[in-house]
Structure 1
Amino acid sequence: MPKASPNLNDRCERFIETIKLQCLNRFIVSGKRHLYYLTAEFTSHYNTRRAHMESDHLPPVREEPEEVEKLKMDQIEVKSYVGGLVKSFERRAA
């Protein structure tokens, strides 16, 4: 965060609250490396896979889908992040 940017402070505080409530409160952190791993995994999920209401329920860092198509269950792959706390659904490779 740039120095002398009080207008960004509320966003930082909100993200800290989110990471505490949705991630860190569910684990017993066993050291710095474990804390860094959890925060890196959660931040990656938060910015690249999680749906955000402000951006039409798409992640902020994303590729725009060309069109929406229906998939069968055997075409979907479930991926787990942050020790299984967070799940993401993706198209299975052909």
Structure 2
Amino acid sequence: MKSISVEEVQQLLAAGKELNLIDVREVDEVSVGKIPSAINMPLGLIEFRMNELDKSKEYIMVCRSGGRSGQATTFLDNQGFIVMNMDGGMIAWAGDVE
């Protein structure tokens, strides 16, 4: 499974790079704060909502600590998507939240 560090994501965003971030936490978790521009797609709905994703784009999966996003990364990778897991999740995130 491909992964990316929290620091790398923060650096890319600070540099103005447009990232496709998918936050797989539950709605109530995301309401506490998420990375700006991240799309909420709870892990339990990934299978049913993956048709909203574009296989030609790269996605970074995010969750609280990296476990659920790792599951989502593995699942979507097996479906032919270009995905990577953000190691450490929101626990390690020190950047802006909305």
User: What TM-score, normalized by structure 1, do the two folds share?
Assistant: 0.22
Higher relative contact order (CA 8 A, sep 6+): 2
User: What TM-score, normalized by structure 2, do the two folds share?
Assistant: 0.21
More strand by share: 2
